[in-house]
Amino acid sequence: MTAQPKIRIRGLKKSFGSKRVLDGVDLDVELGTSFVIIGGSGSGKSVLLRCILGLIEPDEGSIEIDGVDVLRVPGAQREQLVQQIGMLFQNGALFDSMSVADNIAFGLRAKGREKTARPTKAQARVQAGEILKQVGLDPSVGALSPSELSGGMQKRVGLARAIAGTPKVLFFDEPTTGLDPIMGAVIDGLIVDCVKRLGSTAIAITHDMASAQRIGDKAAMLYHGKLVWQGLASELMNSGNPMVDQFTHGRREGPITMELRR
């Protein structure tokens, strides 16, 4: 018998009006592995993550976390399952009105975590300093405002906030977008370290093929609402699939047609 995947998705469908964005997505993410999803702009990668996070209600299908269908359990149980997911947002999504330390402390004191396990504000600030070290930043950065940081530092802080609650599942939305190639590689290295250290299961969405291969164990390509290819992330550049080949090599000619309206 094969082990139960940490995340199992079957027949997931989602439309907005007449536009079908997800058209029967099937996906298994094994415990402790990292899965990368690639696909063109507007192909539905973010919608897929948002469905798993419970931020968008799909029209059909199932999403199981640890074998429990989150779409068919009471709200409180669903919240508990979703609370084990830490997320690094594309733009960092840091609160500019709070210091860096308080942004990370927010992750530690997040609503829905066991009340007894929630540190006080002061304790959370000290812990935030420790977490900053794990992403290669000096604890003194905690006193700064996010607006005082470079893009690379903001990503590190976003990562620090995502891992603050020691999540069992981590989502990364375009983790290297807007970074130079060296900083992108540094962030990818930190992501891999954090996922390993926490023993987490991860899903990343990205357009960056170098990043996809660094972060991912497995990979899939989303096109026309379906995962049209799945394989090892190391095979992305020579998958033998004409759609994946066109996408990963950035060719204008091929089976994929630009959809300016869908």
Ligand X SMILES: Nc1ncnc2c1ncn2[C@@H]1O[C@H](COP(=O)(O)OP(=O)(O)OP(=O)(O)O)[C@@H](O)[C@H]1O
Q: What gap in Å lies between CA 159 and CA 167, rounded to an integer?
A: 12
With binding defined as CB under 6 A, does residue 151 bind ligand X?
no
Question: How remote is the C-alpha of 128 from its chain's centroid?
Answer: 21
Q: Is 73 helix (H, G, I), strand (E, B) or coil?
A: coil
Q: Which stretch in 39-47, 66-74, 130-138, 250-258 sits in contact with ligand X by CB under 6 A?
A: 39-47
Amino acid at 186: V
Q: Which stretch in 38-46, 75-83, 108-116, 142-150 sits in contact with ligand X by CB under 6 A?
A: 38-46
Closer of 64 and 173 to ligand X (Cβ) = 173
Both tokens assigned to 70: 């989150």
User: Which residue in 9, 29, 36, 47 binds ligand X (CB under 6 A)?
Assistant: 47
Q: Which stretch in 45-53, 65-73, 133-141, 151-159 sits in contact with ligand X by CB under 6 A?
A: 45-53
| Sheet hosting strand 218-223, strand order edge to edge | 85-88, 169-173, 201-205, 34-38, 218-223, 226-232
**In contact, 88 and 158? CB cutoff 8 Å:** yes
User: Which residue in 2, 41, 116, 257 binds ligand X (CB under 6 A)?
Assistant: 41
- Find the shortest distance in angstroms from Cβ 57 to ligand X: 11
Q: Which residues of 71-80 are buried (b: 16+ CB within 10 A; e: fewer)?
A: beeeeeebeb
Q: What gap in Å lies between CA 87 and CA 10, rounded to an integer?
A: 22
User: Which residue in 15, 23, 26, 42 binds ligand X (CB under 6 A)?
Assistant: 42
With binding defined as CB under 6 A, does residue 54 bind ligand X?
no
- Find the shortest distance in angstroms from Cβ 39 to ligand X: 5
Both tokens assigned to 31: 């415990």
With binding defined as CB under 6 A, does residue 45 bind ligand X?
yes
Closer of 42 and 139 to ligand X (Cβ) = 42
Per CB under 6 A, which of residues 223..262 are in contact with ligand X?
Answer: 262
With binding defined as CB under 6 A, does residue 43 bind ligand X?
yes
With binding defined as CB under 6 A, does residue 46 bind ligand X?
yes
With binding defined as CB under 6 A, does residue 91 bind ligand X?
no
Could you tell me whether strands 201-205 and 226-232 are parallel, antiparallel, or unpaired per DSSP bridges? unpaired
φ/ψ of 21, rounded to 5, equals -95, -45
**In contact, 7 and 52? CB cutoff 8 Å:** yes
Closer of 41 and 147 to ligand X (Cβ) = 41
Residues that bind ligand X (CB under 6 A): 16, 21, 39, 41-47, 262
